[in-house]
Amino acid sequence: MSDATRISRQLSLCAVMETIVHYGPISRASVAKQTGLSKQTISEIARLLEKDGWIRETGRTSGHVGRSAVTYEIVPDAACIAAVDLGGTKARAAIADLSCNVLAELVEPTDERGGVHVVNQIARMCRDVARHNDIDFEKVRLAVVGVPGVPDPDTGRVLMAPNIADIENFDVVETLRQELDRDVFVENDVNLAVLGEHWIGTGSGIDDLAYVALGTGIGAGIMVGGELVRGHAHAAGELGFLPFGADPFEPESLRIGALERVTATFGMRDRYSQLTGKDEGVPAIFDAAANGEAEALTVLDETARLVARAVAAICAVTGPGRVVLGGSIGSRDEIADRVRAFAAQCFPRRIDIAVSSLGTQAAIIGAAAVGLSHLHATLFSGGVPGAAIALPPRDVMKFGGARA
């Protein structure tokens, strides 16, 4: 087979598979209309895909003039990916199938010991979420892990992750590969979240997009022209290190970030303690604000004012069409409404600021998107440039329930 023939064949295979993923159950005649390929080519590819277990007959068309036709659909669990969102306080693991359905999810407190203990926890959770939901782990081909820091592609370490102890001291990627015996991709969690929002969330269809997460820490995922912005050393979007909020020249600001010190969970708690002398968690601060307590309202106002400055900084540099707020703190209306008001006071143009529609699953869905793109490429593209399967539209996604 010549190179030209092989490339043409691979492109045709991807076109057929993409059509079945997006529109199945679908007949060969309908696939021909969608792809422009001949019925003979489609029949040959369908036989090959069916023989290899990627698609299956699902019935016959009815209600049309003429003979009925066989319809095909993807075998969704022929291969799966593990998607993980590692946070400073919670870890989430999920399994997604070839139809982009999130089958099941498991949530646990993040191991406070950090380091290799967290890596072991991630590997165990991936196996547990499969086992608890009767999913054959042998079908899991790869794992995508979102981390609250900057993955170093040269060393496999995770840098700038102050909320996970000791994770910067060893090769996280290789350790996970050994623990799972699978390919592993590690990405910044907020980068995954913006990919999820861009695919099926609040930012769907907006190619210039920013996602700002405020919770245990603060960070941003940024897309320009539909492409994720990682920057040099993959450190773009580390909002916590913007040089305002706390004194950026203090050693603690170099470790955690001047902005993160005063806006995220610990910053809000410290500020509230300064004003009241009480050590309360963030939920209690919100409750106090709801009851009209002046000190709690001051904490929310100061936090939102600083977040608005960060949003304005992003807009001044990348000009996003929308900024999506997420995270356990950033997605709350009490913060979002204040950020909108303060942003209007410090930026000359209107900023479209919305709250995440995906909530705690934003990074999981982004991880599923990344994993499925890699999986499709591995299984069906054959290494041919341009041979790819696009992710299906937002109405195809389904979710399994989380297990505590």
Q: What percent of the chain has pLDDT over 70?
A: 95
Structure token digits, residue 75: 């075998």
Amino acid in the structure at residue 286: F
pLDDT at position 210 is: 98
- Over range 235-257, report the average pLDDT: 95
> In sequence order, what are the residues at sequence separation of 6 or more whose Cβ sits closer than 8 angstroms to the Cβ of residue 364?
83, 84, 85, 92, 94, 102, 105, 146, 192, 196
* Collapsed DSSP state (helix, strand, coil) of residue 248: coil
The pLDDT assigned to 64 comes to 54
388-394, long-range: CB < 8 A, 24+ apart = 388/14, 389/14, 389/17, 389/18, 389/21, 390/18, 390/22, 391/100, 391/199, 392/21, 392/22, 392/99, 392/100, 393/22, 393/200, 394/199, 394/200, 394/204
Helix (H, G, I), strand (E, B) or coil at 236: coil
4: confidence class by pLDDT, cuts 50, 70, 90 = confident
For the chain, give the longest Cα–Cα distance: 80
Average pLDDT, the chain: 92
Cα separation of 72 and 31, whole Å? 10
Q: Between residues 395 and 99, which one has the greater pLDDT?
A: 99
Given this model, what pLDDT does residue 404 score?
Answer: 43
The answer, yes or no, to whether residue 2 has pLDDT greater than 80, is: no
**Per-residue confidence (pLDDT) for residue 320, from 0 to 100:** 98
Residue 41 pLDDT level (bands cut at 50, 70, 90):
very high
Position 366 scores a pLDDT of: 94
pLDDT tens-digit profile of 94-113?
999 987 788 899 999 999 99
Indicate the DSSP class of residue 204: T
Other Cβ atoms closer than 10 A to 145 = 30
| R_g (Cα) of the chain, nearest Å | 23
Q: Tell me the C-alpha distance between 371 and 85, whole Å.
A: 13
Output 133 or 321, whichever has higher pLDDT. Answer: 321
What tokens appear for 78 in the block? 């022929």
For residue 8, is pLDDT > 60? yes
Contact call for residues 73 and 19 (beta carbons, < 8 A): no
Q: Provide the 8-state DSSP code for 377.
A: I
Mean pLDDT of 27-51: 93
CA-closest candidate to residue 17, choices 38, 40, 48, 39: 48
Helices (H), 52-161: 115-132
User: pLDDT: is 132 or 323 the higher one?
Assistant: 323
* Secondary element (H or E) of residue 58: strand 55-60
Decide if 324 contacts 212 (C-beta within 8 A). yes
Strand partners, 94: 83, 105
pLDDT of 400 reads 59
Share of the chain above pLDDT 90, in %: 78
- Amino acid sitting at position 87: G
Spatial CB neighbours of 103, under 8 Å, sequence gap ≥ 6: 77, 80, 94, 95, 96, 97, 133, 135, 400
d(CA 79, CA 62): 30
- Predicted confidence band of residue 60 (pLDDT cuts 50, 70, 90): confident
* Distance in angstroms (rounded) separating the CA atoms of residues 119 and 343: 39
Residue type, 304: A
Structural element, H or E, at residue 173? helix 172-180
Q: Which amino acid is at 193?
A: A
Place of tokens 């006071």: 345
Counted residue by residue, the chain has a size of 404
| Cβ atoms of 322 and 352 closer than 8 Å | yes
Closest CA to 378 of 128, 191, 186, 185: 185
Q: Is the pLDDT of residue 19 over 50?
A: yes
| Each residue's pLDDT tens digit, 219-229 | 999 999 999 99
Q: Which of residues 66 and 181 earns the better pLDDT score?
A: 181
User: With a threshold of 0.85, does the pTM exceed it?
Assistant: yes
Residue 396: pLDDT band by 50, 70, 90 thresholds? low
Answer whether 315's CB lies under 8 Å from 323's CB: yes
Mean pLDDT confidence for 373-391: 83
What's the mean pLDDT in 322-340? 97
Q: Tokens 């979007």 identify what position?
A: 237
Say how far apart CA 90 and CA 337 lie, in whole Å.
Answer: 26
The three-class DSSP label of residue 142 is strand
Better-scored residue on pLDDT, 4 or 164: 164
Angle, vertex CA 139, rays to CA 135 and CA 144, nearest 5: 95
